[in-house]
Amino acid sequence: MRVGIIGTGQMGSMLATAWLSAGLAPPLLVNTRTRGKAQALAREFPGQLEIVDDQRALADACDAIFVCAKAPDARSIIEYIAPSLRADQWLAATNSTTPLSWLESAAPCRTAKIIPSLTQYAHAGIVLIMPGERLTYDGADEFYDLISLIGAPYTIGEQQVRIYSDLTSCGPAFLADWLESMVFAAIEHGVPEAAARFLVGEMAYGVGQLVGREHFALSEIVDRVSVPGGVTSAGLRVLRDAQQGLFGRVFAATASHVHERPDNRTGNRAAYDDPRVPNPGGGMPGDQDPGDPNRGPARSGRPSSREGGSRGQ
């Protein structure tokens, strides 16, 4: 399968790096406004990445096209490449504020919205997928197999994206910031910075292995480490007192921020007027309501999530 990426900002560069390092058959095609970013990727993966100057040429040459641009730039890009798209292709947008219904009406091919995560650099974590109707009933296996090279596909409805993306896409930053606070506190208590970062990093990696490979529930880790009346229990009491309602406030803040973003206001123009020029960035999740997920298949080496439901909505 030939893959093309339009936009090599943080999101597009991450996807390109993840797929090429996972062994995706080259060449991967990219188109970007900032050619230097694409050239840096080409140097990192010599002979595996091809820079294409025209977005329609990229769309015509690829089986799967990923538009990694913020709304409403993504709309302009998709409208520009639509004449070059065919029914047997896949088109995915990485921003969640472009309605799936519009995406399906604008493009003649199989469509989806996806929310990747920084964890895909490690070929791990979740890629949220909101499939269009044509993808749900035609060609889903091949698309999910492509995503499974870099992470575990997890199918949700469009109205679920806000809270789910807080967990999977924003979550790594939330968790990393919390761990960074632990590092700073350790430094204040006399631990050398290099040692603090190494120890906390290795601890976090170990916990991830317990959860991901050994199938420990988070609550089980707490129970196994904490002994009633012990030092861990004393620390947990402080943590629990401090974090009462914490993530409820975090989720409320992300939802409120989406309401305030300019690209969600009617009548706002794209930052770039040229429809052939992507805004080289990724998408942020939109404000949606939670619901029951339907899982797609997990990638190789991870527990299967097929039991959670079908891919379709």
Same domain, 60 and 134: yes
Same domain, 194 and 148: no
The per-residue pLDDT for 277 is 32
| CATH code of the domain containing 182 | 1.10.3730.10
Q: How far is CA 247 from CA 85, 156, 222, 244, 253, in A?
A: 42, 21, 19, 8, 9
Is residue 272 domain-resident? no
Q: Using CA atoms, how far apart are residues 243 and 293, in angstroms rounded to an integer? A: 27
Same domain, 110 and 49: yes
The per-residue pLDDT for 261 is 56
Residue 197 has pLDDT above 50, yes or no: yes
Mean pLDDT score, 271-289: 31
Coil, strand or helix: which one is 17?
helix
Same domain, 175 and 156: no
Same domain, 63 and 122: yes
Indicate the range of 56-60, 239-243, 279-283, 293-297 predicted with least confidence. Answer: 279-283
HSE value, Cβ hemisphere, 13 Å, CA-based, for 296: 30
Is residue 279 domain-resident? no
Is residue 40 domain-resident? yes
Per-residue pLDDT tens digits for 127-175: 999 999 998 877 899 999 999 999 999 999 999 999 999 999 999 999 9
Per-residue pLDDT tens digits for 204-243: 999 999 998 778 999 999 999 999 999 999 999 999 999 8
Same domain, 48 and 125: yes
Is residue 227 domain-resident? yes
Is residue 253 domain-resident? no
Same domain, 31 and 114: yes
pTM for the predicted model, two decimal places: 0.81
| CATH code of the domain containing 66 | 3.40.50.720
Its domain, for residue 126, covers 3-160+292-308
Same domain, 53 and 151: yes
CA 50 from centre of chain: 23
Q: How many domains does the chain have?
A: 2
Last residue of a domain, one of 196, 213, 248: 248
Same domain, 177 and 42: no
CB atoms within 10 A of CB 71: 22
What are the contacts of 45-48 at 24+ separation with CB within 8 A?
45/16, 45/17, 45/20, 48/20
Is residue 274 domain-resident? no
Is residue 70 domain-resident? yes
Same domain, 128 and 178: no
Residue 283 has pLDDT above 60, yes or no: no
Mean pLDDT score, 112-134: 96
Same domain, 67 and 27: yes
Same domain, 150 and 175: no
> What DSSP string runs through 128-163?
EEEE-HHHHHSSHHHHHHHHHTTSEEEE--GGGHHH
Average pLDDT across the chain, whole number:
84
Is residue 256 domain-resident? no
Tell me, what DSSP letter sits at residue 227? -
